[in-house]
Amino acid sequence: MEISFDKVGFWYQPGTPFAFQALKDVSLTIPSGQFTAVIGHTGSGKSTLIQHLNALLKPTTGRVLIGDRTIDAKTSNKHLKPLRKTVGIVFQFPENQLFEETVLKDIAFGPQNFGVTSQAATEMAQQAAKQVGLADELLTRSPFELSGGQMRRVAIAGVLALRPDVLVLDEPTAGLDPRGRRDVMTLVTKLQREQQMTIVLITHQMDDVARYAQNVVVMAKGAVVKQGTPQTVFSDANWLADHQLALPSAAEFAAQLSQHGFHFDPLPLTEEALVAQLAPQLPLKGGQHNE
């Protein structure tokens, strides 16, 4: 399902002395069935942006088109519920998303809330728990008696169990161990490729952006300052430096090697791409020569 922003402005606490404009004239399209990454500094408006994807926040000015629905400042809060199933959001602080008595009930809450029978919801929850690597013995625990990384897995599973059309993840891998991080990224890519799920990922991990995303949205001070494929966004080294944005590790390293006689074209964004261009420029084992 396609979602687009049309000149969206958003103010927190409008009309008070604390009014703060967190989004400025944002126009963009999240293409259906694709993997979009949203990047930008602390406080640039990423979390504010994605809460517009299912009308948790409504634009103060402009409008958001979610499939065939239009959301603007005047949209009533009634009839928004179906959107919460179509667009599932995993929030930045997962603890704030948990509330049930047991982990399993917490994960099953979503589907049940949308009319799935209790038995089917439990099955969906068990499957989702497995997908995020939650051990069976944790399912009967209270979600508040878990480690930080385990809580995050529960929050992700709760949204996966909804089987949304659009899956939005706000820094889902912060606090996950590297195996968990890789599992979540692999799972999300698989959902996108095999089930054409639309994925929106907020992340500070440029390596993940380079490896998994098809589109990148760059935010700065509430505005969208660049959009494009990872290759276009990361190829403009001067622009990135001006905006104090990091390159993926492979691109950074390639740039460093380029100053010492190595040559790369196009700029490699992943380790594999880097090595594919680097190996032919090096001597092989046992004095063999390349080429």
Ligand X SMILES: Nc1ncnc2c1ncn2[C@@H]1O[C@H](COP(=O)(O)OP(=O)(O)OP(=O)(O)O)[C@@H](O)[C@H]1O
Residues that bind ligand X (CB under 6 A): 12-13, 20, 22, 40, 42-48, 92, 145-150
In whole angstroms, what is the distance from residue 159 CA to residue 162 CA? 5
In whole angstroms, what is the distance from residue 98 CA to residue 95 CA? 5
In whole angstroms, what is the distance from residue 143 CA to residue 129 CA? 13
- Under the binding rule (CB under 8 A), the answer on residue 253 touching other proteins is yes
- Under the binding rule (CB under 8 A), the answer on residue 123 touching other proteins is no
Taking a C-beta distance cutoff of 8 angstroms, is the pair 90, 169 a contact? yes
Please name every residue paired with 217 in a beta bridge, in sequence order, or none if there are none.
Answer: 38, 227
95 binds, among other proteins, Mg ion, ligand X, none (CB under 5 to 8 A by kind): other proteins
Nearest CB to other proteins, comparing residues 74 and 285? 285
171 catalytic per annotation = yes
- Residues in the chain, how many? 291
- Under the binding rule (CB under 8 A), the answer on residue 93 touching other proteins is yes
- Under the binding rule (CB under 8 A), the answer on residue 288 touching other proteins is yes
- Under the binding rule (CB under 8 A), the answer on residue 282 touching other proteins is yes
- We find the least distance from the C-beta atom of residue 125 to other proteins, in angstroms, to be 19
- List the one residue from 96, 229, 232, 258 that touches other proteins (CB under 8 A): 96
In whole angstroms, what is the distance from residue 211 CA to residue 24 CA? 29
253 binds, among other proteins, Mg ion, ligand X, none (CB under 5 to 8 A by kind): other proteins
Strands 166-170 and 3-12: unpaired
Name the site residues for Mg ion (rule: CB under 5 A): 47, 92, 147-148
**Cis peptide bond N-terminal to 266, omega within 30:** yes
- We find the least distance from the C-beta atom of residue 10 to ligand X, in angstroms, to be 9
Nearest CB to ligand X, comparing residues 32 and 92? 92
In whole angstroms, what is the distance from residue 190 CA to residue 7 CA? 32
Q: Which residues are catalytic?
A: 171
